[in-house]
Amino acid sequence: MQLKTDLFINGQWVKGAGSLPVMNPSTGELIAEISTADQAQCDAAITAAHDAFPAWAKTPSRVRSEILRKAFEIMTAESDQIARLISMENGKTFTDAKGEVSYAAEFFRWFAEEAVRTPGDFRHSPSGDKRILVTHQPIGVSLLITPWNFPAAMATRKIGPALAAGCTVILKAASETPLTAIWIVDIMHRAGVPAGVVNFIMPEKTGAMISRMMHDPRLRNVSFTGSTEVGRILIKESADLVLRTSLELGGNAPFVVLDDADIDEAVKGAMVAKMRNGGAACTAANRFYVAKAVADEFTQKFTKAMDDLKMADGLETGAQLGASVSRKERDKIAELVDSSVAAGAQVRLGGVTPAGDGAFYPATVLTVQKDNPILNFEVFGPVAPIVTFDTDAEAIALANSTEYGLIAYVYSSDLKRAIRTAEALEAGMIAINRGVVSDPAAPFGGVKQSGLGREGGFAGIHEFLETKYIGVEI
Ligand code: NAP
C-alpha cells in the first residue's frame, strides 16, 4: 500500500497548509514529508467530529463493535507492513514493532467486545420515594494526543474505547512518528468508520493550536499520553472550559530484587522490563534496587545479558537494540549518563555514544549510590543504574522517593513478602516476578505525577463516558 501523508478530516484525505519531514533515526534519512494543519484545518476537524457525533452516539453499539472488530482484523493482517513502518520512523527493532502492533490491535478487539457491555444500574432509593436509574453516555468530541514511543498502541488504546463509547475523535500524533498514526486512521476508514468520526491532524504549531482547540466549547474531552511536563500544561489549558482529561504521563519505575529472589528469573525479567522498546517505555525499569546479598550475582548476570544484545538498524536481521527516535533524544540519554558518572557512578557496560548518523546509544549498566542524580530522571533509553539496599523497608522507601508512580517491579520467591512489598509501593501498576504487565484487558495508569485515569480493562471505556442519574417518581 502506498504511504499516505495527508490530514484526514470529515472522511477525506486533505493536503495540509504546510509540511513536516519524517526521518529514519537509524540512518538519518528522510522517509516522507507529511501535511501539517493550519488553524482553519484544526477548526474543520472539530466541526467534522462535532457534526458526526449525534449519529455516531446513536449508532447501535453492535455496529460500532463490528467496525472495531474489522479494524482489529485489518491491523492483524497488515502487521508486518505496519511493524516495518514503526521501525523506520521510530528506530525500534522489527521484533519490538511486531509486538507493539499485536498489542495495539488487541485494543480494537478488546473494545469491540466492551462496546456492547456498557453497564447501567436500577435501584430503589433507601427512602423509598423514587427509583434510581444510572446510565452512561458518550462524552462527545475527544482530542487524542499521542507520544512517539508506541505510535500504534497509544493511538489504538484511545481510539478503541472512544469509538466503543460512541465518541468522535481528532487524533494528533507525535511529530516524530505520524506515519504509523496515519496508517491506523486509514484502517479505521477501511473498516467502515463514518465520515467525521475519526479525524487526523498535525497542527503546524502544536502548543498554540492545541490550546486554541481546548478553548473551543465543542470539544469535551482530552486524552493525552506523553510527558508529565506537557501533562501539566494540558491540565492548565483544560481549566477554562472544565474539560474532562485523561493523562498517561511519565514514569520512573523501580525494579526491586529482594534477597530471596530467583536471580536468573530476575535477570530475565529485568531484560524485558528495561529493554523492551530499547528502554523508551513509560513502564521501563529505570532504577534497579537490589538486596546487598544478591547484588554481585544480579549485576554480573544482568551485565552479561545486556552485553550480549546486538545493536543495529531495527530492520536488520537479529537486531535486539535499535536506535532512539532522534539524535536529540539520544543526546539526552548520553547527558544523563555523563552527569551520573561525574557524580560517582561506576560504568559496568556501555556509556559511550557511538559515531555515525544513526541515533544509537549502547546498552549501559551503572552501579550508583542512592543519591545519584540519574535516579531522579526518566532516562528513556537502554541505561540501567543499580543501587544496593539492606532491608525491605529501605528498598520500599527508595522506590517511593519519586514524584512518579506508574509502575514498580518486585522479585521475590516468597509471594506473601512480594505482595506486602507491592502494597507498600506507590504505583498504579505492580509486576510481581514479571518483566511486563501491559495487557489491553487490564487497567493501565499511574498515581502521583504519572497521570489521571486508566486506559484498557473495564475502566478504559469510562474515560469516554459520562455518568447520568435519572430519578423516577414512584
Ligand atoms: P511529549 O513531549 O509530552 O509529547 C507527547 C505529545 O504531546 C506529542 O504529540 C507532542 O506533540 C504533544 N505536545 C507537546 N507539547 C504540547 C503542548 N504544549 N500542548 C499539546 N500537546 C503537546 O512526550 P514524548 O516525548 O512524545 O513521549 C515520551 C513521554 O511519554 C515520556 O515521559 C513517557 O513516559 C510518556 N509516556 C507515557 C505513557 C503512559 O501510558 N503513562 C505511555 C507512553 C509514553 P509534538 O510532537 O508536536 O511536540
The enclosing domain of 385 has a CATH number of 3.40.309.10
Confidence of residue 39 (pLDDT cuts 50, 70, 90): very high
Mean model confidence pLDDT for the chain: 98
Name the β-bridge partners of 13: 8
Residue type, 66: E
234 and 273 assigned to the same domain:
no
Does residue 1 register a pLDDT over 80? no
26 and 141 assigned to the same domain:
yes
Name the β-bridge partners of 172: 145
CB 287 within 8 A of CB 400: no
pLDDT digits (tens, 9 = 90+) for 48-84: 999 999 999 999 999 999 999 999 999 999 999 999 9
Query: How many domains, in total, are found in the chain?
Result: 2
Does residue 198 register a pLDDT over 90? yes
Domain residue limits at 34: 7-250+449-473
CB atoms within 10 A of CB 370: 14
Task: Tell me if 217 CB under 6 Å of ligand 1.
Answer: no
In a domain, 57, yes or no: yes
Please tell me whether residue 324 adopts helix, strand or coil conformation.
Answer: coil
83 and 229 assigned to the same domain:
yes
What percentage of residues in the chain have a pLDDT greater than 90? 100
Name the β-bridge partners of 468: 135
pLDDT of amino acid 243: 98
Task: Tell me if 433 CB under 6 Å of ligand 1.
Answer: no
Q: Which H helix or E strand runs over 394?
A: helix 392-399
Compute the average pLDDT of residues 258-282. 98
Task: Tell me if 453 CB under 6 Å of ligand 1.
Answer: no
State the Cα–Cα distance between residues 419 and 36, nearest whole angstrom.
49
In sequence order, what are the residues at sequence separation of 6 or more whose Cβ sits closer than 8 angstroms to the Cβ of residue 181? 146, 151, 152, 155, 171, 173, 200
* 365-368-373 Cα angle (round to 5): 105
In a domain, 51, yes or no: yes
Dihedral angle computed from the Cα positions of residues 317, 321, 327 and 331, in that order, rounded to the nearest 10 degrees = -160
In a domain, 2, yes or no: no
Looking up residue 36, the CATH number of its domain turns out to be 3.40.605.10
Please tell me which residue in 204, 248, 329, 463 is annotated as part of the active site.
Answer: 248
In a domain, 329, yes or no: yes
Ligand 1 pocket: which of 282, 331, 406 to mutate (most atoms within 8 A of CB): 282
Residue type, 344: G
Of ligand 1's listed atoms, the one at least distance from the Cα of 145 is 9
95 Cα: distance to centroid of ligand 1 (angstroms): 24
In a domain, 170, yes or no: yes
Would residue 248 show up in a list of annotated catalytic residues for this protein? Answer: yes
pLDDT of amino acid 59: 98
Nearest CA among 82, 91, 42 for reference residue 360 = 91
Task: Tell me if 249 CB under 6 Å of ligand 1.
Answer: yes
Name the β-bridge partners of 285: 253
Would residue 167 show up in a list of annotated catalytic residues for this protein? Answer: no
Phi, psi of 41 (to 5 degrees): -75, -35
CB 68 within 8 A of CB 111: yes
Ligand 1 pocket: which of 179, 230, 324, 439 to mutate (most atoms within 8 A of CB): 230
Ligand 1 pocket: which of 89, 92, 206, 436 to mutate (most atoms within 8 A of CB): 206
200 and 287 assigned to the same domain:
no
Does residue 344 register a pLDDT over 90? yes
204 and 271 assigned to the same domain:
no
Q: Which three cell numbers stand for residue 395?
A: 528498598
pLDDT of amino acid 68: 99
Compute the average pLDDT of residues 312-326. 98
Q: Where are the beta strands (DSSP E) in 139-237?
A: 141-145, 169-172, 198-200, 219-225
State the Cα–Cα distance between residues 319 and 281, nearest whole angstrom.
18
353 and 462 assigned to the same domain:
no
In a domain, 48, yes or no: yes
248 Cα: distance to centroid of ligand 1 (angstroms): 9
Residue with cell 463490528: 66
Task: Tell me if 227 CB under 6 Å of ligand 1.
Answer: yes
* 3-329-331 Cα angle (round to 5): 135
Task: Tell me if 225 CB under 6 Å of ligand 1.
Answer: yes
246 and 264 assigned to the same domain:
no
The residue count of the chain comes to 474
155 and 261 assigned to the same domain:
no
pLDDT of amino acid 184: 98
260 and 238 assigned to the same domain:
no
In a domain, 444, yes or no: no
Confidence of residue 144 (pLDDT cuts 50, 70, 90): very high
140 Cα: distance to centroid of ligand 1 (angstroms): 23
Global model pTM greater than 0.95:
yes
pLDDT of amino acid 48: 99
pLDDT of amino acid 2: 81
245 and 259 assigned to the same domain:
no
Please tell me which residue in 282, 378, 455, 463 is annotated as part of the active site.
Answer: 282
In a domain, 125, yes or no: yes
104 and 122 assigned to the same domain:
yes
Residue 415 C-beta-side C-alpha neighbours within 13 Å: 0
CB atoms within 10 A of CB 113: 15
456 and 412 assigned to the same domain:
no
Task: Kindly state the DSSP code that residue 210 receives in the 8-state scheme.
Answer: H
Residue with CA at minimum distance from ligand 1 atom 11: 174
Please tell me whether residue 236 adopts helix, strand or coil conformation.
Answer: helix
Task: Tell me if 49 CB under 6 Å of ligand 1.
Answer: no
Nearest CA among 137, 140, 82, 73 for reference residue 105 = 73
pLDDT of amino acid 426: 98
